[in-house]
Structure 1
């Protein structure tokens, strides 16, 4: 399957939308954290420049999981019934399809989809293929049907994952996606589609950002082997000592910009060097600390589009406790106030619901009353 060109997209129904949004949504970061007691946390940020109407949706067990091929091939589709309930995030601006980019199922399998522009080329479905799934339905398929990374590693390569822009009326950006999947055992893989092939990599860094491909990022970590926790307090100099002005000197050279390569290095080393948390609560907080280091305020990362300045910024953050089936969510206006959801209760209700992430009940905790003088 040839990589989509501007000329090809311009002939497709979705072409205008694809081109208009092509330069954005390339600053997402995902990180996994494991605790001493075995708890596994998977967190991620979502950056974008436009209101995507990000919607959190609960999907009960037994829901439909469509497996289809491009309509032009006229191949028979299959509709499975999901084995697992899950909760996931989708852009509601994309009408007619629940394209889940983030989520967690009742078996403790977590998913985060990050953008991989410039390198993604999906698989070509042929008339002889029998197993296939649209990239728009891949999230639903994985979260609804798989309970572990081990099972996913064995079964997913049997399917062709495809995308046809002509079948989408107005997609806000080309779905150039790669995914990180992590389960409650701590097993984690990155799935990419490069040169028309599915590429599965063990997530050795426990981090995912954006372009280039995952193997490049892991190789790039070797440029930063001098980064360490312990810096020198002083060094001898001509019969005296030159003392450090403060701690942190051993991390000199840690990249601080927002390019995908820099965020990958920053998140990977902060996660690696941090003290191993004792339990799920501490691991969740460590994930928050790491992701705070890649948070983008509005206006910091911007570009000119048609004479208008647009800015990618962190629109929401999700922290998934895969061990205890809990999630924490914060949006850009409530970064200090996370909403917590007990997924076991949500899944046991066996009902579907959806809500805008921006509409969740973020409530700041005001402790002023504790310091008021008693009468």
Structure 2
């Protein structure tokens, strides 16, 4: 296959220094595939690295290609690859274990300290025309699943992992704090897993309206004057009882407090949103009521379930994409995301195919 040498890439050089530049087309190793990228979503973490140069201990110290919510087409396969062939449309799982450590062996490879992860320093992401990735972490898309849906499997996976960690099941009553992209996918997954009632909170009326369209039973607009205890009471009054499960997607200290106060005794709070390293929370309140607090770090073993959910029509993520830009307009796309306009901004990397 003759390939266009154009490998335009979105590269973060340092704090607030985002550039479009050409990079060589990489050659796949024995277990890799070369992908012609199609759709890549912009994540809050991409914007955070651009605006702050770091997330926690992950610091941008050299130029890094951004992007990790992605799908594309296989254009070259490594010599040892058996599961994929040229022409396959795939969704990319961005976290690839580098070694067979204890985390890998017990199925929680997302916790491996040496994992490769797209667009997490020092690892390059895939916001480019061409990109190589481990074939074992590329998943074939059925014909009825679009490239954009394939790219949205990454945020959808956070929702799947959060709902699994929370134990969402038939009849669960769930509170979701935050109606951004992760709150909305958590809503979609909770409903697909059988939650009977879901209430969602946010500051933005626009996002709450989207949540209602996606299946939220109740939506609560937060105002600055609400105390966590008052919000918890509002949630219980609206549901008729406290929720058994709360999925906290903002990382905001007051929201974490609300999550704990709101959750039924014996219930579960899952912390998905990442905020400040230290937070003041009513830990004793949780302890004496046996409320379990569980963390979430990315996801693992979620792509097959996500693909099945999308292919079957059980979950519809298409409404989440509110803006689309060609790769050449990446800087404008990042500005749009930074300003909080819409829900999910999608970059189209294949200049010959700009379709969803």
TM-score grouping bracket, smaller chain normalisation: under 0.3
The higher-RCO structure (CA 8 Å, 6+ apart) is 1
TM-score (normalizing by structure 2): 0.27
Higher strand share: 1
Q: Which structure shows the bigger proportion of residues in helix conformation?
A: 2
> What TM-score, normalized by structure 1, do the two folds share?
0.26
Kindly name which structure, 1 or 2, has the bigger radius of gyration based on alpha carbons.
1
